[in-house]
């Protein structure tokens, strides 16, 4: 079931956090205008050529990745629940000169109202799945907006990594069935923690005492649960991969940064899946 009241609390938490996140990023419009991109190689490989395609970026945050996709020649619509994120995305589109359409909406509302079979690709990434309170309804909505032959492309933090706290101690269930987990501290300033790994335009100190007054609620889904709901819509799983590193995000305090702004376990520690990806295609 969808938890609309929790989605609304998440919206408030993201509004506050987005301002802090963008305070650390230098001249993002100039960076994009000059040909810069915030995309990592993994999502580019999964997406393949998107030139001339119509793509929706669900839970697009403040639009940096959406505009990077648009710069590759796609007709991009970005959707996010955060007012602050969408307002920033629209301004960033205008200031960078890269066209994209941005919609402020709960992802469930947007999927329910979007024209059926109107997109070649649905994309989401990095901290998207954990905000979904009803996995089945979401998957049906994703399949519904895809044209026959269209693809759903997702790269996200591995659900197994979400059983650990910041000290890499097991603290949370893997099989949670979407039961909400509440964090009173809200969405944190993970951009400030990651430094230039999440600020390719250049990192500035920005907000240095950020405290989010709004709680946040996440929903834990196992990898098999995500694959199952996609298969149940009739889509075909074409790709699924696991990665022993996370792109841009320092999920745990003992992770070390390696080439490409990736974070992984220190040498001598067991390597574990920190990210995973899935590509599913609508057949009819």
CA 258, CA 266: separation in Å to the nearest integer?
10
User: Is residue 256 within 8 Å of residue 262, measured between CB atoms?
Assistant: no
Asked whether the beta carbons of 185 and 15 are under 8 A apart, the reply is no
Partners of 101 in the beta sheet?
A: 77
Q: How far apart are CA 98 and CA 74, in angstroms?
A: 11
Residue 196's domain comprises 4-281
φ, ψ (nearest 5 deg) of residue 192 = -60, -35
Q: How many CB atoms lie within 10 A of CB 264?
A: 17
pLDDT tens, residue order, the chain (284 aa): 678 899 999 999 999 999 999 999 999 999 999 999 999 999 999 999 999 999 999 999 999 999 999 999 999 999 999 999 999 999 999 999 999 999 999 999 999 999 999 999 999 999 999 999 999 999 999 999 999 999 999 999 999 999 998 888 899 999 998 889 998 999 988 888 888 888 889 888 888 889 999 999 999 999 999 999 999 999 999 999 999 999 998 888 889 999 999 999 998 888 899 999 999 999 97
Distances (CA, A) of 47 to 239, 265, 278: 11, 27, 11
CATH code for position 47: 3.40.50.150
Q: What is the number of structural domains in the chain?
A: 1
């Amino acid at each position: 079931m969808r938890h609309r009241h929790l989605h609304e609390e998440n919206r408030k938490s993201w509004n506050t956090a987005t301002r802090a996140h963008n305070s650390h990023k230098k001249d993002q419009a100039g960076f994009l205008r000059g040909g810069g991109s915030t995309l990592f190689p993994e999502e580019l490989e999964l997406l393949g050529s998107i030139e001339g395609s119509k793509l929706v970026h669900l839970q697009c945050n403040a639009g940096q990745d959406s505009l990077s996709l648009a710069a590759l020649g796609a007709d991009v619509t970005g959707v996010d629940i955060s007012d602050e994120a969408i307002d920033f995305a629209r301004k960033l589109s205008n200031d960078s000169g890269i066209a994209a359409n941005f919609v402020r909406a709960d992802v469930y509302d947007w999927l329910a109202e979007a024209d059926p079979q109107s997109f070649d690709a649905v994309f989401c990434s990095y901290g998207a799945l954990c905000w979904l309170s009803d996995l089945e309804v979401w998957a049906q909505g994703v399949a519904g907006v895809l044209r026959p032959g269209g693809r759903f492309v997702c790269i996200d933090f591995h659900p197994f990594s979400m059983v650990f706290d910041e000290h890499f101690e097991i603290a949370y269930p893997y099989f949670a069935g979407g039961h909400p987990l509440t964090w009173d501290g809200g969405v944190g300033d993970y951009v400030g923690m990651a430094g230039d790994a999440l600020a390719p335009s250049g990192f500035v100190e920005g907000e240095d005492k950020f405290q989010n007054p709004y709680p946040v609620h996440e929903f834990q889904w196992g990898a098999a649960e995500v694959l199952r709901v996609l298969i149940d819509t009739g889509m075909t799983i074409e790709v699924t991969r696991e990665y022993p590193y996370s792109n841009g995000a320092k999920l745990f305090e003992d992770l070390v940064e390696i080439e490409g702004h990736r974070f992984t376990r220190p040498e001598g520690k067991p390597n574990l899946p920190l990210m995973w990806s899935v590509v599913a295609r609508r057949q009819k």
